[in-house]
Amino acid sequence: MTQEKTPKQIVELLNKYIIGQDEAKKQVAIALYNRYRRSQLSKTMQQDITPKNILMAGPTGVGKTEIARRLAKIVNAPFVKVEATKFTEVGYVGRNVESMVRDLAEAAVRMEEQEEFERVKATATQKANEQLVKLLVPGIKKENRESSMQQMMQMLSGNFNLDNNQETEEVTDEIRNQRLSVKDQLAQGLLEDRQVTIEVEQTPKANPMGDMMGQMGMDMSSLMGDLLPKKKVKRTLPVSEAREILIQQESKNLVNYDSLYQDAIEKAQQNGIIFIDEIDKITAGDKRNSGQVSREGVQRDILPIVEGSTVSTKYGPVSTDHILFIGAGAFAESKPSDLIPELQGRFPIRVELNALSQEDFVKILKDPANSLLKQYIALMDADRIKLIFTQEAIDKIAQIAYQVNQGTDNIGARRLTTILEKLLEDVLYEGPDMNMGEITITEKYVTEKLDDVITNKDLTKFIL
Radius of gyration (C-alpha) of the chain in whole angstroms: 28
- State yes or no: 196 annotated in a binding site: no
Paired sense of beta strands 79-83 and 349-352, if any: unpaired
Complex with ligand ATP: residue 242 or 397, whichever CB lies closer: 397
Complex with ligand ATP: residue 32 or 364, whichever CB lies closer: 364
- Cβ 410 to ligand ATP shortest distance, Å: 11
- Cβ 436 to ligand ATP shortest distance, Å: 29
- State yes or no: 458 annotated in a binding site: no
Complex with ligand ATP: residue 322 or 415, whichever CB lies closer: 415
- Cβ 62 to ligand ATP shortest distance, Å: 5
- Cβ 69 to ligand ATP shortest distance, Å: 8
Complex with ligand ATP: residue 58 or 214, whichever CB lies closer: 58
- Cβ 12 to ligand ATP shortest distance, Å: 15
Q: Which amino acid is at 358?
A: Q
User: Counting beta carbons within 10 angstroms of the beta carbon of residue 340, is it exposed (0 to 12), middle (13 to 18) or buried (19 or more)?
Assistant: middle
- Cβ 242 to ligand ATP shortest distance, Å: 36
For residues 19 and 209, what is the distance between their CA atoms, to the nearest angstrom?
45
Query: What is the greatest pairwise CA distance in the chain?
Result: 85
- Cβ 186 to ligand ATP shortest distance, Å: 41
Closest CA to 167 of 130, 197, 141, 133: 141
Contact call for residues 388 and 376 (beta carbons, < 8 A): no
For residues 224 and 233, what is the distance between their CA atoms, to the nearest angstrom?
18
Residue ranges of E strands in 132-255: 140-141, 169-170, 195-201, 232-238
For residues 104 and 98, what is the distance between their CA atoms, to the nearest angstrom?
10
- State yes or no: 407 annotated in a binding site: no
- State yes or no: 44 annotated in a binding site: no
Complex with ligand ATP: residue 272 or 412, whichever CB lies closer: 412
Complex with ligand ATP: residue 63 or 78, whichever CB lies closer: 63
- State yes or no: 457 annotated in a binding site: no
- State yes or no: 297 annotated in a binding site: no
Residue numbers at the binding site for ligand ATP (CB under 6 A): 18-21, 60-66, 277, 328, 364, 368, 412-414
Complex with ligand ATP: residue 352 or 452, whichever CB lies closer: 352
What's the sign of the alpha-carbon dihedral 418, 419, 422, 426? negative
For residues 369 and 18, what is the distance between their CA atoms, to the nearest angstrom?
9
- State yes or no: 214 annotated in a binding site: no
User: Counting beta carbons within 10 angstroms of the beta carbon of residue 66, is it exposed (0 to 12), middle (13 to 18) or buried (19 or more)?
Assistant: middle
- State yes or no: 65 annotated in a binding site: yes
Annotated binding site: which residue ranges? 19, 61-66, 277, 342, 414
Annotated binding site for ATP: which residue ranges? 19, 61-66, 277, 342, 414
